[in-house]
Amino acid sequence: MREITLDDLGDIASGAAVLGTGGGGDPYIGRLLATSALRTHGPVPLVSLDEVDGDAVVLPVAMMGAPTVMVEKLPSAEQVGLAATTLATYLGRELTHIACAEAGGVNSLIPVAAAAQLGLPLVDADGMGRAFPEIQMVLPTLYGVRATPMSIADEKGNRGVLDTVDNHWAERLARSATIDMGCSAMISTYAMSGRQARDALVPGTLTLCAELGALARTARAGHADPVAAVVDRLAGQRLFTGKVVDVARRTVTGFARGEARLAGTDGDAGSELVLRFQNEHLVAERDGAAVASVPDLICTLDRESGEAVTTEGLRFGQRLTVIAAPADPRWHSPGGVELAGPRYFGYDLDPVVLAR
């Protein structure tokens, strides 16, 4: 894929929702925005990490906030580019590339819209290889890249720049601003040189999203199992097949937090799976024992279509297959686990390492 066209957006949105591990925002919203931007500005050039010049100025952009809110409060087209240009102005640098801060849902497609609007190439990479709920949870943190200066913009035209002593302060101040802005805002963060991007980002994200989407689509068309195609591509495993029997969800401190309970069907009849989430799925417990956890990916897929279901889309009676897939290996380093392992989220649990 050398450029992203209107025809690619469906597969990218579908694959991004899988990597979103339940979070990353409703991919439908991202697809609407990207579609509108590509219609107006034409296709977006996609460049691989090794093509990015060492001195390039790479600005990742993302939506920040509660996915439950994004469904009702759509971002404006103007807002998409504003975060990036505000940060570039503060840095006094000319912006050369847009990148994805996270893979997943709306946040794989927002950068497509931003790149189209600003007439810039998009880097085929992201900062996580999945979605995580807090700003500091990106691999660039492990490489000493700072979250700030970062910018934040809302759909009303309010914007700000934060320059903090560490990434946790960036998360805290930006989270409060996001809440004031109505629980969803656009940010640009982890400004990087091309050199830093090549070290710290996960390569091939948009290509992977498009592949995952195409695999599931092709499987459906050929009456094959789309879930199997996704599991296979991610070198993951099926955790559980069942029916949603309970969802508890609260939009608190700017996040969608909660848990979902699935009663097993098919080969899992008689068992129960509990999913605990903060925007993204964090821990999966089968009959009381953790069977998967962050930093690995836990994804909820529709049992029939293989389409990902986000945490805000979970509903009573849905028939799902829950899968797990290994995260980028750097997430399993001590620094990675400290940043985004189960203990950070308050679970007294070492990360469950999937059999590979």
- In the complex, which residues of this chain contact a second copy (CB under 8 A)? 86, 90, 156-165, 169, 172-173, 176-177, 179-181
Q: Which residues sit opposite 203 in a β-bridge?
A: 125
Q: Which residues sit opposite 263 in a β-bridge?
A: 243, 272
Least distance CB 150 / a second copy (angstroms): 9
Query: Between 163 and 232, whose beta carbon lies closer to a second copy?
Result: 163
Query: Between 93 and 156, whose beta carbon lies closer to a second copy?
Result: 156
Contact residues for 332 (Cβ-Cβ < 8 A; gap 6+): 295, 351, 353
Nearest-CA neighbor of 231 among 308, 317, 342, 178?
A: 308
Query: Between 5 and 176, whose beta carbon lies closer to a second copy?
Result: 176
Contact residues for 117 (Cβ-Cβ < 8 A; gap 6+): 37, 40, 41, 77, 80, 81
Please give the Cα distance from 35 to 41 (Å, whole number). 10
Least distance CB 76 / a second copy (angstroms): 12
Least distance CB 86 / a second copy (angstroms): 7
Query: Between 73 and 172, whose beta carbon lies closer to a second copy?
Result: 172
Least distance CB 24 / a second copy (angstroms): 25
Phi–psi pair at 156, nearest 5 degrees: -85, -15
Please give the Cα distance from 68 to 253 (Å, whole number). 13
Query: Between 38 and 185, whose beta carbon lies closer to a second copy?
Result: 185
Nearest-CA neighbor of 27 among 147, 178, 206?
A: 206
Query: Between 105 and 160, whose beta carbon lies closer to a second copy?
Result: 160
Least distance CB 92 / a second copy (angstroms): 8
Least distance CB 169 / a second copy (angstroms): 5
Nearest-CA neighbor of 342 among 352, 334, 355, 327?
A: 352
Question: CB–CB of 281/191 below 8 Å?
Answer: no
